Amino acid sequence: MPQQYKQKNDEKNIGINRAAARFGSKIKPRNLKETVLRLLKTFGNQKLLLCIVIISVFISTGASLFVPLTIGKLIDFISYKLLDKINLYILILLGLYILSAFFNWFSEFLVAKISQNIVSKLRRELFYQLEKLPLKYFEENPHGDIMSRFTNDLEAVSSVVSQSTITLFSSVITVIGSIVIMINLNFILTIVVMFSVPCIVLLSKIIAKKTVSLFKGQQKSIGAINSMVEESVNGLDIIQSYNQEEHILQQFKKANEDAFIYGKSAQIWSGLLMPLMNVINNFTFAIIAFLGGYLAIQGIITIGIIASFIAYSRQFIRPLNELAFTYNSLMAAIAGAERVFEILDEAIEKRNTDGLVKPLKGSVSFEKVSFGYDSKQKVLKDISFNISKGQKIAIVGPTGAGKTTMVNILTKFYSHNEGNIIVDDVDIKDYEYSSYLKQFGIVLQDSYLFSGTILENIRYGQPKATKEEVYEAAKFAMVHEIIMKLPKQYDTKLTYGGLNLSHGERQLITIARAVLANPSILILDEATSSVDLKTEKQITQAMRRIMEERTSFVIAHRLSTIKDADLILVLQDGQITEQGNHENLMKKNGFYAKMILYQ
């Protein structure tokens, strides 16, 4: 399907690192509950694996929770010289470590599998949806934003499912388990540990308030650098031809300096968090040790309980930090999922899949056809004309007159709002979409070739064509000799868009592709407007051969190429102001005659 791509940058960086994820811009979904419920539905047949993961995390975390308690008991047994129990608890401790490690690995293994299954499913659904969306969607939405949803947003979902799922379950179980065990050991020491929580929360908020603007600035600066690099690569020939290398370099230095300043400041401030939290933690440990020592002297608790409490206080505080990080990552992932679901919820193009399937002969009639991209303004107004099988129709007019739009509604890329389009005495709405469109051959001004070999590109419309058929099509399009001069001939690998070939060579290959497809109706949209005169003659000659005995629509700015057309339609402001052959239109001395005169 031909598309006119609008290159726009709309890059969104979701977190630069762990600190950025905590203190950077909090990306939140607009509808949290609905998106979460829908995301959970994507788990589908992964629910059993998810249940196994939860059980595995519970066992792994539970085993870890009993380690400090076992160490405390072991310390008491050592102090009391109970050798039989020492050996037993060493074995228990070893078993807890092995149990925790195994189920931790097992849960991570399953989560990785779940994550890839879910993202693969979402990616497949998203790509399938994009294939079904109308051309209008791609013209109204920046391609950079669509690509961002395919990459950044899906990656955010994948990262959270694979990394944060275990962290979330483990942190919740650890916090609750640690509180229960600490209260059971000693309530007074538990209160001491709990007092450290508001201190940590307050410290996090103070630093976050300072770093959030810095990380936003860093993300914005990196986005500017990415845009500048992309523009410089794509427009390098223009930059060099105008001798603007130094100017671009200065712009890059400025953007790079901004990113450096923001990044340095953000990292310095965020880097303060862990040292200051360690101060709070160590202060808490000191209080536990001091108060615990006093209680031990009084015979209320043992040395082993003090050791257990210090370990549990560590286990209690660490998950709180993990939950803060996980929450922000989760919000980013849900926001990303929401953006993916926005595309999946777009109304797909209604295509007739049960319509008439038959070979087209090529007679076309437009009966008072009108079309507008929206209800406010019509692009085409009351278009009417009739052509017979095998005729050549030229469409001319100023830029924006509606020439390409006319052929786009003929090929059902857009649905016309009013009137009827009749092909071979059948309304085009009654044709089965795929079989109808397959009978059109389209050659655009911006010839597009896919990554792969020249052979694969010519075969694009007919994948099962033999090499001999491909060679014949290339000879017919007058590009066979050009291809044979290349080092690998038809096996030459093309880069993105076929940019390792000249524009004229790409154009001739697209004509060969159309020849091999053997279309009933041919559309040539300004196919010679961007080439030199010599190449134009080659392309024009190739086009004349392919147009023989085929209904052909030719959109052209160079009017010298369409003087032999059976019918010339002159479009102005979406209306046909003149129609006829070259001789008749020249006699009218109207807009067409003036266009010929100016050229």
**Listed range (26-40, 179-193, 244-258) with the worst mean pLDDT:** 26-40
Amino acid (one-letter) located at 594: K
**Listed range (194-203, 510-519, 570-579) with the worst mean pLDDT:** 194-203
Residues in the chain, how many?
Answer: 599
- pLDDT of residue 407 exceeding 60, the answer is yes
Average pLDDT score over residue span 84-92: 86
Residue 528 pLDDT: 59
Residue 464 pLDDT: 83
Which sign, positive or negative, has the C-alpha torsion 382, 385, 386, 387?
negative
Residue 328 pLDDT: 59
Amino acid (one-letter) located at 395: I
Round the CA-based radius of gyration of the chain to a whole number and report it.
Answer: 35
- Binned at pLDDT 50, 70 and 90, residue 44 comes out as low
For the stretch 478-493, pLDDT in tens is 788 888 888 888 888 8
For the stretch 194-239, pLDDT in tens is 877 787 777 777 776 766 667 667 666 776 777 677 677 767 767 7
- Most confident by average pLDDT, 20-24, 163-167, 288-292: 288-292
Report the interhelical angle of 165-185 vs 83-132 (nearest 10°): 150
**First-to-last CA distance in the chain?**
32
Per-residue three-class SS string for 524-545: EECCCCCCCHHHHHHHHHHHHH
For residue 366, the surrounding DSSP H or E stretch is strand 364-371
- pLDDT of residue 327 exceeding 80, the answer is no
- Binned at pLDDT 50, 70 and 90, residue 505 comes out as confident
The CA-based dihedral angle spanning residues 464, 465, 470, 476, taken in that order and rounded to the nearest 10 degrees: -130
Residue 17 pLDDT: 40
- pLDDT of residue 370 exceeding 60, the answer is yes
- Binned at pLDDT 50, 70 and 90, residue 102 comes out as very high
CA distance 393 to 48: 62
- Binned at pLDDT 50, 70 and 90, residue 434 comes out as confident
Residue 13 pLDDT: 37
- pLDDT of residue 176 exceeding 50, the answer is yes
Residue 530 pLDDT: 55
Match 């389009």 to its residue by tokens.
421
Average pLDDT score over residue span 418-437: 85
- Binned at pLDDT 50, 70 and 90, residue 326 comes out as low
- pLDDT of residue 450 exceeding 90, the answer is no
Average pLDDT score over residue span 411-427: 84
CA distance 185 to 295: 12
CA distance 586 to 594: 9
- pLDDT of residue 389 exceeding 60, the answer is yes
Average pLDDT along the chain: 78
CATH numbers and ranges of domains, the chain: 31-344 (1.20.1560.10), 364-598 (3.40.50.300)
- pLDDT of residue 28 exceeding 90, the answer is no
Residue 375 pLDDT: 67
Average pLDDT score over residue span 157-180: 79
Give the list of residues 6+ apart from residue 132 with CB closer than 8 angstroms, or none. 348, 349, 351
- pLDDT of residue 274 exceeding 60, the answer is yes
Residue 15 pLDDT: 36
Residue 535 pLDDT: 63
Residue 101 pLDDT: 92
Amino acid (one-letter) located at 151: T
- Most confident by average pLDDT, 118-127, 152-161, 276-285, 576-585: 576-585
- Binned at pLDDT 50, 70 and 90, residue 133 comes out as confident
- The Cα angle at residue 483 between residues 541 and 2, in degrees rounded to 5: 65
**Listed range (14-18, 61-65, 277-281, 475-479) with the worst mean pLDDT:** 14-18
- pLDDT of residue 21 exceeding 70, the answer is no
For the stretch 551-565, pLDDT in tens is 888 887 777 777 888
- pLDDT of residue 355 exceeding 70, the answer is yes
Residue 362 pLDDT: 82
Residue 31 pLDDT: 64
Q: 371 pairs with which residues across the strands?
A: 380
Please report, for residues 141, 232, 257, the alpha-carbon distance to residue 226 in angstroms, rounded to integers and kept in the order given.
20, 10, 14
- pLDDT of residue 575 exceeding 90, the answer is no
- pLDDT of residue 23 exceeding 50, the answer is no
Percent of the chain clearing pLDDT 90 (strictly above): 2
Average pLDDT score over residue span 506-517: 82
Instruction: For 251-296, list the strands marked E by DSSP.
Output: none
